[in-house]
């Protein structure tokens, strides 16, 4: 068994690798070659969440689990709030193959999933990127989105405005003008990424212009919410995994309120393999409900392990 520690990941897996690996896992899911197992997610108290995301990709020969969660007290200790590790197993024998640090991989795969949705669903001429949220994930989201559209500027809102300058620095690095705005000004955005840990909707239907694409990435647990259910119901909704979208994703609220039928939610993989056309017209609001699936974690962890083996890196404990 190879151990690939967190500190090694940045030198092994690029955002481009994550984009390709996550795209392949979306397609494998849509073809029925891969599936996610039910998510286990437990509240540990004091806002801490812990759980397991797992799955099997027969085509990619990947079996495994990501164990981890969200620990809001970490930032004060100089740690990131998300902590996770990915364990890969041989799908034929069940023997352990690798243990891989999952923190950077989670950020890369989440940003990649959002960018794949933007790439496939946003209007091609999108110029203004809006971001709701400015925590650890937000910078990764901004970088990944900037790879798939030629944005001319970035506008952002965060409940805690003191966090926005860090996101502004990422925009500056990308050469993009950055402005902190009230939520009402999100109507200027062609693409909006929401990436907060909010328990109640911040972004309302009145804040979003026709034709916008939304990647809603923050809601990955029952009880979290970023977007007004009426906005979700008015949009064409896409997701990574419908079962997760209706139970732990942003759509849980619109579906629970009877405003949206689960059968109307389209797996993004269907768009990638040409089974669904994606955006229908320039006025439509498209919304990607990114809940984060185990197969995405396995896909990027497998890249890390392959690269580490190629380069003779990692710690082989010989199990």
Distance CA 245, CA 232 (A): 12
Cβ closest to ligand NAD, residue 62 vs residue 83: 83
Helix axes 294-310, 103-121, angle to 10 degrees: 120
- What residue has token string 């923050």? 218
Q: Residue 1 interacts with ligand NAD (CB under 6 A)?
A: no
Rounded least distance, CB 94 to ligand NAD, Å: 26
Residues between 48 and 87 that touch ligand NAD (CB under 6 A):
70, 81-82
239 binds ligand NAD (CB under 6 A): no
Told to judge if 166 belongs to the known catalytic residues of this protein, a careful annotator would answer no
* DSSP 3-state of 217: coil
Encoded one letter per residue, x for contact with ligand NAD by CB under 6 A and - for no contact, window 100-139 reads ------x---x----------------------xxxxxx-
State the Cα–Cα distance between residues 273 and 42, nearest whole angstrom: 34
Kindly name the residue from 53, 66, 166, 224 that is annotated as catalytic. 66
| CB of 158 or CB of 252, closer to ligand NAD | 158
Q: Which residue is nearest to ligand NAD (CB)?
A: 135
Stretch that binds ligand NAD, among 2-10, 33-41, 174-182, 213-221 (CB under 6 A): 213-221
- Structure tokens, 229: 């259910």
* 204-207 contact pairs (CB < 8 A, 24+): 204/228, 204/231, 205/230, 205/231, 205/234, 207/183
CA distance 231 to 229: 5
Nearest distance from C-beta of residue 141 to ligand NAD, angstroms:
9
Number of residues that bind ligand NAD (CB under 6 A): 28
Nearer to ligand NAD, 286 or 291 (CB): 291
**CB of 318: closest distance to ligand NAD in angstroms?**
33
318: burial class by Cβ within 10 Å (0-12, 13-18, 19+)? exposed
Nearest approach, Cβ of residue 290 and ligand NAD (Å): 5
- Write out the binding residues for ligand NAD, residues 289-308 only, by CB under 6 A: 290-292
* CA distances (Å), origin 148, targets 126, 157, 188, 193, 210: 10, 22, 19, 13, 21
Residue closer to ligand NAD (CB basis): 197 or 236? 197
Q: Could you tell me which stretch among 22-30, 39-47, 180-188, 198-206 binds ligand NAD (CB under 6 A)?
A: 198-206
Of 13, 92, 65, 95, residue with least CA distance to 296: 65
Q: Is 160 in the site for ligand NAD (CB under 6 A)?
A: yes
Given 57, 119, 220, 228, the residue binding ligand NAD (CB under 6 A) = 220
Please answer whether residues 137 and 217 qualify as being in contact, where contact means their C-beta atoms are separated by less than 8 angstroms: yes
H/E segment holding residue 286:
strand 286-289
Catalytic annotation, residues: 66
By the criterion CB under 6 A, which residues form the site for ligand NAD? 70, 81-82, 106, 110, 133-138, 158-160, 163, 195-199, 202, 217-218, 220, 224, 290-292
């Amino acid at each position: 068994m190879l151990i690939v520690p967190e500190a090694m990941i940045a030198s092994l897996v690029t955002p481009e690798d994550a984009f390709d690996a996550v795209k392949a896992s979306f397609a494998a899911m849509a073809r029925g070659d891969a599936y996610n197992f039910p998510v286990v997610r437990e509240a540990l108290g004091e806002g801490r969440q812990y759980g397991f995301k797992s799955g099997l990709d027969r085509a990619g020969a990947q079996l495994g689990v990501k164990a981890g969660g969200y620990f809001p007290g970490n930032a004060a200790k100089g740690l990131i709030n998300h902590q996770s590790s990915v364990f890969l197993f041989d799908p034929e024998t069940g023997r352990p193959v690798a243990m891989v640090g999952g923190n950077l991989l989670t950020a890369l795969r989440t940003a990649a999933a959002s960018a794949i949705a933007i790439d496939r669903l946003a209007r091609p001429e999108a110029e203004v990127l809006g971001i709701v949220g400015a925590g650890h994930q937000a910078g990764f989201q901004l970088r990944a989105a900037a790879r798939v559209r030629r944005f001319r500027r970035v506008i952002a809102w965060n409940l805690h405005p003191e966090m926005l300058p860090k996101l502004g620095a990422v925009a500056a690095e990308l050469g993009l003008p950055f402005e902190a705005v009230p939520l009402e000004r999100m109507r200027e955005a062609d693409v909006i990424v929401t990436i907060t840990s909010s328990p109640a909707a911040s972004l309302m239907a009145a804040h979003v212009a026709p034709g916008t694409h939304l990647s809603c990435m923050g809601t990955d647990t029952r009880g979290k919410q970023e977007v007004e259910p009426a906005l979700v119901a008015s949009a064409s909704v896409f997701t990574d995994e419908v079962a997760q979208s209706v139970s732990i994703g942003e759509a849980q609220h619109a579906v629970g309120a009877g405003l949206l039928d689960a059968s109307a939610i389209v797996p993004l993989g269907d768009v990638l393999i040409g089974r669904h056309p994606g955006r229908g017209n320039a006025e439509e609001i498209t919304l990607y409900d990114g809940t984060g699936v185990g197969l995405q974690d396995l896909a990027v962890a497998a890249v890390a392990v392959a690269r580490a083996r190629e380069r003779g890196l990692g710690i082989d404990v010989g199990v």
